Homo-oligomer: A and B are copies of this chain.
Amino acid sequence: MKLQVNLGANSYPITIEYNALANIKETINVNRKVAIITDTGVPEKWVNMVAAQCPNHFVLTFEQGEQSKCFDTYKYLLEQCIEHNMSRKDCVIAIGGGVVGDISGFVAATYMRGIDFYNIPTTILSQVDSSVGGKVAIDMGSYKNIVGAFWQPKAVIIDPQVLSTLSIRQQHNGLFEALKMGMILDAELFELFEKDDLNLETIFQKSISLKKMVVEQDEKESSLRKILNFGHTIGHAIESDCGLNTFLHGECVSMGMLFFIEDKALKERVLKIYEKLEAPQVPDYSVDTILDIISHDKKTTGATTTVVKVPTLGKYILEEYSNEQLRDVLERGPYEK
């Protein structure tokens, strides 16, 4: 299956195909220097499969984990691009999860003011969410994605075979972002999660198509795209507060969503799905610390914070919250009935 993300001069195809990894030449011009960027968590066989198709490549591998999405890794990758004498016409291929895609995309966005970038996401999380839309970034200190750019890939290649090497926890982690899409935009997608057997293929297609639709309408996140931050305002803050690597990103989003589901019956349904997906419990937190982190978050403009709420299944509300309102939400907690 092929989808086209329509963004004028920045349009690009998404290939979703079993064994697509063995045929990247169909999408990527590999007859130039290729920087393959990956991390230690990605099985070598996927990297080797791509590398074997690029006659003039080099591989840059950094330590797995959110702590690598930092200034030092960014600088190291740029230095390696210089070292290998990469030109403006060469390209970067990312193979990995969200961390690899985000930092590789930012390297491609800024090396020589921007070179071609291809994304091959290897986790459910990055396949259904972060690989589509061109948001690239690194963290600084405990502030996630605080430095970055909008840099659309030239193509995204999604090969379901790579999921075979993912742990169950990693798989569930990605499904929380797909569940999020259902909650705000598509009751049918949500209901797929309530079935005994998860129909992953349909869940993927639906959530990637929804992401594509939102990005096409608002590439630079000036309006509609903000709804994708559902669960992220508090989720990001918990992620930062607990130290990167305690929880996975999707797990934190699952926690963050609970604070803003207004329909109590819906929240019950969500908690049942969480049980099935083994979502971790929201840890104890200090209200002041979480508020402090949120105030640095990109969604904050001066005194208020844009939050996304779900009144009923498949619907969303964007609302400006004062610090006091956020404090109330945090004091009530995620499990309040």
Contacts and interface: CB of A to CB of B under 8 A. Distances in A.
Contacts of A298: 87-88, 112-113
Interface in A139-166: 140-141, 143, 145-150
B301 A147 contact: no
Contacts of A264: none
Contacts of A140: 78-79, 82
Interface residues of A, number: 33
Contacts of A82: 140-141, 143, 146, 296
A89 interface: yes
Contacts of A301: 87-89
Contact of A149 (B110, B146, B300): B110
Interface string A71-86: 1000100110010010
Contact of A111 (B147, B150, B302): B147
Contacts of A32: 302
B112 A146 contact: yes
Kindly name the residue among A85, A140, A147, A295 whose own CB sees the greatest number of chain B CB atoms within 10 A. Answer: A147
Contacts of A143: 82
A135 interface: yes
A42 interface: no
Interface in A52-74: 71
Given A82-B143, A82-B146, A302 B87 contact: yes
Contact of A113 (B114, B137, B295): B137
Kindly name the residue among A82, A89, A150 whose own CB sees the greatest number of chain B CB atoms within 10 A. Answer: A82
A109 interface: yes
